[in-house]
């Protein structure tokens, strides 16, 4: 008899699929915090050069750990899960009493993405330049809804193609930037930012921080538009893997185990090999500048391997409690993502506690773990009393205009 998916929780299969996606989403949200912490606590240059934080071995270790095991991998999974959400939303809005049409549900979907766009704009300009919601909303308002009916194989193949094309655009920009600095055409600060200016701004008032942040946000949103084919690609891949039952844990335990082992093994080779190669280059710019453009691409197998680890964990009865904790965090993904900004800007910015550019690793690991504990505890407590997280509830209200609440 074929090995069937095991349901350790007693939930119905449909409910178990949602638990798996929620746990994956929670895992992704928590993992995103380490790469983001460099930009929360230090000037942008620290994301590419650990020397900006000082010459402590801990800073170098954190930078290496982030670059190989975290950077791009959790964001990749988060974007894939946005694609999974497209599939689920389509299933919810497709009528059952007539032949489905491509335009079914488009008005609700566009309201949903328009609301997310507003969240992203407010988040980026008023609080933190590293926002990703804006890019996801733009992707949702453009291509992804209109390819949702394609077969899983076409979505997977097309997604990988689009992502590769977007990575080539990024690679071209990186090569151009390295050449411009090496040839003396532009200062290094044009690529890495101006730490002194950032420190002065983010340690000042909210208005001082805003003045520094606006230019950074405009640049990052412009870059995200250039990178949009890659974002479309990741989301299409997530849609295809959801339809194929890979992200939802609908395949056999043997399938998920083999995929997990293969992807993790391949990911260690591709990421480790690329890391060693790029760090061995003789460059006129910090190696991290180049690595940021390739970390996600070479880490695709690791990202998929991570997702399968969580899928498998959802089948282990002994892991029911931590899995449910991850699922709680994932059910409140938007709220928890925004909570990272609220907590970190309060700790590091001048209108909060004012620790910007002064807390190195390993102390930042403590901050990260404390925020993770908060996310677990707050999510569990909130969901004991409410069905949706606060920002999830607001997002639904703006999507359905108070008409639909199921």
| Residue 107 binned pLDDT confidence (cut-offs 50, 70, 90) | very high
- Mean residue pLDDT of the chain comes to 92
Residue 200 has pLDDT above 70, yes or no: yes
DSSP designation for 55: S
Using the CB atoms, write b or e for 333-368: b if 16+ within 10 Å: bbbbbbbbbebbbebbbbebeebbbebbbeebeebb
Long-range Cβ pairs for the range 197-202 (8 Å, 24+): 198/43, 198/44, 198/357, 199/43, 199/356, 199/357, 202/348, 202/349, 202/350, 202/356, 202/357
State the Cα angle at 179 between 178 and 184, rounded to 5°: 105
* 83, 239 Cβ separation under 8 angstroms: yes
* 286, 52 Cβ separation under 8 angstroms: no
Tokens of 353: 């506690």
Structure confidence at residue 10 (pLDDT): 36
State the Cα angle at 19 between 88 and 379, rounded to 5°: 110
User: What proportion of the chain, given as a percentage, has pLDDT over 90?
Assistant: 83
Instruction: Please list the alpha-helical segments (H only) found in 1-95.
Output: 13-41, 57-65, 73-93
Structure confidence at residue 399 (pLDDT): 95
154-188 pLDDT, tens digit per residue, is 999 999 999 999 999 999 999 998 888 888 888 87
Residue 339 has pLDDT above 50, yes or no: yes
Considering only residues 67 and 286, tell me which one the structure prediction assigns the higher pLDDT. 67
Tokens of 324: 């449910």
76-99 pLDDT, tens digit per residue, is 999 999 999 999 999 988 888 788
Tokens of 124: 């980026």
Full-prediction pTM beyond 0.85?
Answer: yes
* 144, 239 Cβ separation under 8 angstroms: yes
In whole angstroms, give the CA distance from residue 370 to residue 359: 15
In whole angstroms, give the CA distance from residue 8 to residue 324: 11
In whole angstroms, give the CA distance from residue 322 to residue 327: 9
In whole angstroms, give the CA distance from residue 161 to residue 46: 32
Domain ranges of the chain: 13-400
């Amino acid at each position: 008899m074929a090995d069937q998916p095991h349901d350790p929780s007693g939930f119905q299969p449909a409910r178990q699929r949602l638990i798996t996606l929620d746990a994956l989403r929670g895992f992704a949200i928590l993992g995103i915090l380490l790469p983001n912490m460099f930009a929360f606590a230090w000037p942008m240059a620290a994301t590419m050069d650990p020397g900006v934080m000082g010459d402590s071995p801990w800073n170098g270790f954190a930078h290496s750990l982030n670059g190989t095991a975290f950077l791009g991998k959790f964001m990749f999974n988060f974007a894939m899960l946005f694609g999974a959400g497209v599939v689920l939303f389509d299933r919810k809005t497709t009528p059952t009493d007539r032949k489905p049409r491509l335009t079914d549900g488009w008005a609700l979907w566009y309201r949903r993405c328009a609301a997310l766009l507003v969240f992203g704009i407010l988040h980026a300009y008023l609080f933190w330049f590293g926002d990703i919601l804006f890019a996801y909303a733009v992707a949702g308002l453009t291509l992804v809804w209109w390819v949702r009916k394609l077969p899983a194989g076409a979505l997977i193949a097309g997604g990988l193609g689009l992502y590769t094309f977007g990575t080539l655009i990024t690679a071209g920009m990186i090569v151009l930037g390295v050449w411009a600095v090496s040839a003396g055409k532009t200062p290094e600060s044009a690529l890495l930012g101006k730490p002194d200016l950032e420190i002065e701004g983010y340690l000042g008032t909210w208005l001082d921080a805003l003045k520094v942040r606006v230019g950074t946000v405009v640049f990052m949103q412009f870059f995200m538009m250039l990178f949009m084919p890659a974002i479309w690609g990741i989301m299409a891949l997530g849609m295809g893997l959801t339809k194929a039952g890979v992200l939802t844990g609908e395949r056999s335990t043997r399938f998920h185990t083999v995929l997990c082992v293969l992807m993790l093994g391949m990911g260690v080779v591709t990421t480790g090999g690329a890391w060693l190669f790029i760090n061995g280059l003789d460059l006129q710019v910090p190696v991290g500048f180049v690595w940021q453009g390739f970390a996600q691409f070479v880490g695709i197998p690791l990202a998929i391997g991570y997702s399968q680890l969580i899928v498998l964990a959802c089948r282990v009865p002994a892991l029911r409690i931590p899995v449910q904790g991850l699922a709680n965090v994932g059910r409140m993904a938007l709220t928890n993502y925004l909570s990272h900004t609220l907590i970190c800007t309060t700790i590091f910015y001048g209108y909060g506690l004012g620790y910007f550019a002064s807390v190195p690793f390993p102390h930042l690991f403590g901050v990260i773990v404390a925020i993770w504990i908060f996310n677990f505890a707050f999510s569990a407590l909130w969901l004991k009393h409410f069905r949706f997280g606060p920002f999830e509830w607001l997002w639904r209200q703006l999507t359905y205009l108070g008409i639909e609440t199921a």
